[in-house]
């Protein structure tokens, strides 16, 4: 897998140095003694056990001890308080409800003329109360008032142009689609929603996610089609006809034959075991060795098939496309609170072989086919319930409006639940996303205080507090993930901050001319390697030394900490604060800073975009968002270089021509030659612009070799920062966000102006 990815110590390591630079002014007091004793105790209790692996047991014991020691400690009181609060909020929630029962729900239908939903007629008085940001709230109101006067929303701001353009096209299409699909009902009107601005409406405050939900249920994987007779499976060199069940599973393997997965031992073992479960007694007794199985004919067959698909005529492709659109039209949307919303994944995952990431102990296992009987449907009681396919039934139909999913099933590999949910452009996802950034902005207001506090806690005499403080420092400075504990053997061995082990960290009192360097090397989410060398403050360093003392490589660094403890602490520091908020906060604030640092007002558009990408890249590096270098990377780089060279030649040729034209003009003094000069000048200018564009592109691409920008853009960067930047520098928003992204961030595009500050 992509185990050995890049090294990026510089950027992420140095990012926060400014804010942390008051190096060791105080002397590092030695609390070591006390802690040391504790450690010894712990070590004893642990290692008397012949099996010293079980760190959770260790933690458990420690926690008990800790508890005994600090029985009087405040945590009890906190709990009490929380319980009270909970009760309070519960009852108030009850009252809260929504005063305006269905103000949300009914206006839409009546509000349209000639097929255009006109937002201006709506009751705008209902402003959503945002729990967290008043300024936000006010500015929104102003904005709305402005909109009152524009009926068809003339382009009062440039970004609206794009939006208009962009939206008109698909909309016309979807209008037709929607009609024959779920549309129809409720007054049978045409497409009411042109750009529904859910962000200008009130949110539910009672914890419910919707009032009305209707959908058609999921689309199931197509049934298995048997192979033609001439495509055979061979066992031990002899052709062997398999039963349908066994054959289907065999095709899963055959389809992956030239993937390196199939060479891995665990994969093969798991596959074979599960495959045999699908075999009849006869098959089972004959097929006993995977190495004697020959899937090559099957594999070839599928290759030819996909080749054929590619070679298909235009009409054939068109047909498939239309059929697909029909399916999307019928099943791809739902009706939620009177708005038609796109579903994110309405297709049930087809059966196949499980492909875990990294060193996954379950790779190759059979992911079984999902039937209607496995599906739980969620919709509102008063909706038209989805019909199960003929001859089948749903596992259950429920009406739970405290959740957002439309359907769910339990997957057989890990036993986890899979959901069908709405598209990111939907209200329900958008609101949550917006809220996430508001929480991060609230953190901005108190982050310095929190930093001061954890720095202070580095000196605490309690081990658990020190650990908590150092972990939090990592999470803040390095944007590490929280690191929940995972069940061993259930998935790849990856870690986050709280689950870091001794083997992942090495301490260098001095390295490359720097003091107190911490070297981190571990596999994080998706088994992506995190490798970083970070100079830290002395106190952190000393603490880490202490944490590592007398431990085995496989022991936890933070043995008195877990995510739940950490998050409980964070919750006390700020409402809604959890470890992941730091990632969002640091990502967004970094983008904002980098943008203001990197953008040169005089630059032209491509150069500004390069700056944007660089700012984006700084964030991706911080968050360790990597990708495998594209297979065609080298080649495409060469191509680009060739283009650049060609352009250079053209340019110098053009320059020469310009020169001689000038000479001509000087000699001739006539209009014609003067004009020629002008033309040549223009040509040179054009060429040099093109050259520079290419060069910028090359730089950008090179720097991006194994860095993935998409993830941070989609999940960590407050879109309003980008929108504001675009407005400020008059960069078309399309240069930054593609269509999907613009749909997801419609709320931000609509509400952020050029002065927005995260």
CA distance 233 to 665: 80
Tokens representing 363? 């790779």
CA distances from 408 to 277, 361, 395, 405, 453 (A): 26, 25, 10, 7, 43
Which of positions 523-562 make contact with DNA (CB under 7 A)?
524-528
CA distance 457 to 465: 6
DSSP 3-state of 214: strand
Burial of 539 per CB tally in 10 Å (0-12, 13-18, 19+)? buried
Nearest to 753 by CA among 157, 65, 130, 38: 157
Single residue of 116, 624, 721, 725 touching DNA by CB under 7 A: 624
Tokens representing 578? 């959890």
**Strand arrangement of the beta sheet that strand 293-294 belongs to:** 238-240, 233-235, 293-294
Which of positions 305-324 make contact with DNA (CB under 7 A)?
306, 321, 324
Which of positions 435-454 make contact with DNA (CB under 7 A)?
436
Question: Which region among 7-15, 174-182, 271-279, 574-582 touches DNA (by CB under 7 A)?
Answer: 574-582
What are the φ and ψ backbone dihedral angles of 329, each rounded to 5 degrees? -60, -40
Question: Which region among 136-144, 157-165, 564-572, 718-726 touches DNA (by CB under 7 A)?
Answer: 564-572
CA distance 517 to 538: 9
Exposure on the CB side of residue 50, measured as CA atoms within 13 A: 0
716 is a catalytic site residue: yes
Q: Please, which residues have CB within 8 angstroms of residue 407's CB and are 6 or more apart in sequence?
A: 215, 217, 218, 375, 376, 377, 378, 419, 420
- Residue 258 CB, shortest distance to DNA, in Å, is 10
One symbol per residue from 627 to 666: x for binding DNA (CB under 7 A), - otherwise; what is it?
xx-x-x--xx--xx--------------------------
- Residue 291 CB, shortest distance to DNA, in Å, is 23
Q: Which is nearer to DNA, 10 or 646 (CB)?
A: 646
Asked if 594 touches DNA (CB under 7 A), the answer is: no
Q: Which is nearer to DNA, 31 or 357 (CB)?
A: 357
CA distances from 13 to 356, 444, 532 (A): 31, 20, 7
Q: Which helix (H) or strand (E) holds 418?
A: strand 417-420
Question: Total number of residues binding DNA (CB under 7 A)?
Answer: 90
Q: Which is nearer to DNA, 275 or 516 (CB)?
A: 275
Q: Which is nearer to DNA, 234 or 633 (CB)?
A: 633
C-alpha torsion angle, residues 662, 664, 669, 671 (rounded to 10): -80
What residue has token string 């000699």?
A: 667
Check 530, 612, 716, 756 and give the catalytic one.
Answer: 716
Single residue of 122, 584, 590, 592 touching DNA by CB under 7 A: 584
Whether the Cβ atoms of residue 11 and residue 624 lie closer than 8 Å to each other: no
Q: Which is nearer to DNA, 609 or 683 (CB)?
A: 609
Question: Which region among 441-449, 464-472, 680-688, 712-720 touches DNA (by CB under 7 A)?
Answer: 712-720
Question: Which region among 57-65, 152-160, 234-242, 288-296 touches DNA (by CB under 7 A)?
Answer: 57-65
Asked if 371 touches DNA (CB under 7 A), the answer is: no
Q: Which is nearer to DNA, 24 or 400 (CB)?
A: 400
Asked if 467 touches DNA (CB under 7 A), the answer is: no
One symbol per residue from 472 to 501: x for binding DNA (CB under 7 A), - otherwise; what is it?
---------xxxx-x----xx-x-x-----
Single residue of 13, 119, 358, 388 touching DNA by CB under 7 A: 358
- Residue 107 CB, shortest distance to DNA, in Å, is 26
Nearest to 753 by CA among 725, 734, 731, 733: 725
CA distance 472 to 212: 42
Q: In this structure, how many other beta carbons lie within 10 angstroms of the beta carbon of residue 659?
A: 13
- Residue 325 CB, shortest distance to DNA, in Å, is 9
Which of positions 718-757 make contact with DNA (CB under 7 A)?
738-741
Single residue of 8, 58, 209, 539 touching DNA by CB under 7 A: 209
CA distance 190 to 703: 48
Q: Which is nearer to DNA, 248 or 283 (CB)?
A: 248
Which of positions 81-140 make contact with DNA (CB under 7 A)?
none
One symbol per residue from 511 to 530: x for binding DNA (CB under 7 A), - otherwise; what is it?
-------------xxxxx--
Single residue of 708, 728, 732, 753 touching DNA by CB under 7 A: 708
Q: Which is nearer to DNA, 59 or 680 (CB)?
A: 59
CA distance 500 to 475: 12
Q: Which is nearer to DNA, 537 or 555 (CB)?
A: 555
Which of positions 268-307 make contact with DNA (CB under 7 A)?
306
Q: Please, which residues have CB within 8 angstroms of residue 383's CB and are 6 or more apart in sequence?
A: 212, 213, 214, 215, 335
Whether the Cβ atoms of residue 233 and residue 293 lie closer than 8 Å to each other: yes
Tokens representing 113? 């003329």
Asked if 347 touches DNA (CB under 7 A), the answer is: yes
Tokens representing 432? 């949550």
Single residue of 419, 451, 455, 502 touching DNA by CB under 7 A: 419
- Residue 151 CB, shortest distance to DNA, in Å, is 30
Q: Which is nearer to DNA, 635 or 656 (CB)?
A: 635
- Residue 240 CB, shortest distance to DNA, in Å, is 26
Asked if 579 touches DNA (CB under 7 A), the answer is: yes
* Catalytic center residues: 716
């Amino acid at each position: 897998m992509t185990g050995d990815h890049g090294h990026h110590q510089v950027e992420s390591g140095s990012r926060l140095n400014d804010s942390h630079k008051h190096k060791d002014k105080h002397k590092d007091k030695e609390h070591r003694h006390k802690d040391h004793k504790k450690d010894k105790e712990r070590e004893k209790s642990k290692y008397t056990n012949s099996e010293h692996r079980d760190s959770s047991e260790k933690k458990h014991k420690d926690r008990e001890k800790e508890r005994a020691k600090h029985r009087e400690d405040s945590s009890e009181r906190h709990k009490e308080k929380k319980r009270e609060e909970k009760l309070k909020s519960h009852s108030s929630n009850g009252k809260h409800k929504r005063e305006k029962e269905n103000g949300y729900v009914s206006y839409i239908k009546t509000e349209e003329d000639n097929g255009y939903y006109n937002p201006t007629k709506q009751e705008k008085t209902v402003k959503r109360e945002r729990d967290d940001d008043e300024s936000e709230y006010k500015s929104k109101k102003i904005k709305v008032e402005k909109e009152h006067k524009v009926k068809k929303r003339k382009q009062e701001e440039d970004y609206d142009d794009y939006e208009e353009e962009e939206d008109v096209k698909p909309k016309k299409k979807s209008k037709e689609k929607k009609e024959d699909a779920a549309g129809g009902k409720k007054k049978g009107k045409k497409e009411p929603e042109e750009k529904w601005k859910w962000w200008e409406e009130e949110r539910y405050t009672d914890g419910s996610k919707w009032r009305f939900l209707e959908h058609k249920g999921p689309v199931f994987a197509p049934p298995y089609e048997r192979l033609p007779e001439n495509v055979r499976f061979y066992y031990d060199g002899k052709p062997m006809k398999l039963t349908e069940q066994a054959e289907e599973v065999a095709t899963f393997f055959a389809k992956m034959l030239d993937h390196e997965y199939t060479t891995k031992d665990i994969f093969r073992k798991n596959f074979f075991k599960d495959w045999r479960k699908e075999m009849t007694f006869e098959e089972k007794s004959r097929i006993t060795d995977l190495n004697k199985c020959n899937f090559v004919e099957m594999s070839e067959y599928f290759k030819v098939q996909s080749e054929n698909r590619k070679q298909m005529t235009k009409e054939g492709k068109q047909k498939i496309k239309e059929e697909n659109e029909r399916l999307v039209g019928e099943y791809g949307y739902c009706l939620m609170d009177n708005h038609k919303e796109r579903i994110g994944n309405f297709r049930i995952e087809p059966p196949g072989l499980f492909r875990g990431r990294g060193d996954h102990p379950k790779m190759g296992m059979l992911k079984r086919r999902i039937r209607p009987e496995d599906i739980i449907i969620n919709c509102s009681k008063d909706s038209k319930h989805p019909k199960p396919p003929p001859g089948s039934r749903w596992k259950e139909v429920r009406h739970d409006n405290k959740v957002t999913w439309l359907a769910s099933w339990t997957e057989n590999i890990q036993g986890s639940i899979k959901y069908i949910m709405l598209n990111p452009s939907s209200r329900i996802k958008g609101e949550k996303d917006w809220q996430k950034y508001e929480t991060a902005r609230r953190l901005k207001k108190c982050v310095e205080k929190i930093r001061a506090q954890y720095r202070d806690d580095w000196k605490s005499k309690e081990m658990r507090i020190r650990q908590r403080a150092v972990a939090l420092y990592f999470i803040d400075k390095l944007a590490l993930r929280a690191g929940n504990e995972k069940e061993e053997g259930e998935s790849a061995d990856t870690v986050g901050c709280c689950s870091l082990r001794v083997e992942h960290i090495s301490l260098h009192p001095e390295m490359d001319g720097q003091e107190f360097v911490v070297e981190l090397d571990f596999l994080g989410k998706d088994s992506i390697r995190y490798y970083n060398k970070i100079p830290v403050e002395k106190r952190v360093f000393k603490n880490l030394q202490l944490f590592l003392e007398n431990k085995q490589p496989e022991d936890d660094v933070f043995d008195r900490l877990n995510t739940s403890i950490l998050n409980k602490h964070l919750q006390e520091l700020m409402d809604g604060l959890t470890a992941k908020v730091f990632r969002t906060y640091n990502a967004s604030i970094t983008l904002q800073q980098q943008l203001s640092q990197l953008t040169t007002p005089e630059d032209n558009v491509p150069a500004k975009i390069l700056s944007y990408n660089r700012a984006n890249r700084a964030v991706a590096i911080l968050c360790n968002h990597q990708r495998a270098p594209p297979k065609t990377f080298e080649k495409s780089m060469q191509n680009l270089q060739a283009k650049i060279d060609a352009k250079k030649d053209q340019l110098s040729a053009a320059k020469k021509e310009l020169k001689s034209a000038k000479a001509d003009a000087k000699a001739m003094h006539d209009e014609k030659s003067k004009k020629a000069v002008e033309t040549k000048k223009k040509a040179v200018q054009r060429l040099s612009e093109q050259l520079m564009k290419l060069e910028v592109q090359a730089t950008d691409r090179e720097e991006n070799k194994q860095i993935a920008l998409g993830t941070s853009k989609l999940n960590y960067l407050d879109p309003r920062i980008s929108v504001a930047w675009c407005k400020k520098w008059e960069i078309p928003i399309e240069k930054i966000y593609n269509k999907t992204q613009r749909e997801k961030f419609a709320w931000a595009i609509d509400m952020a102006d050029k002065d927005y500050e995260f």
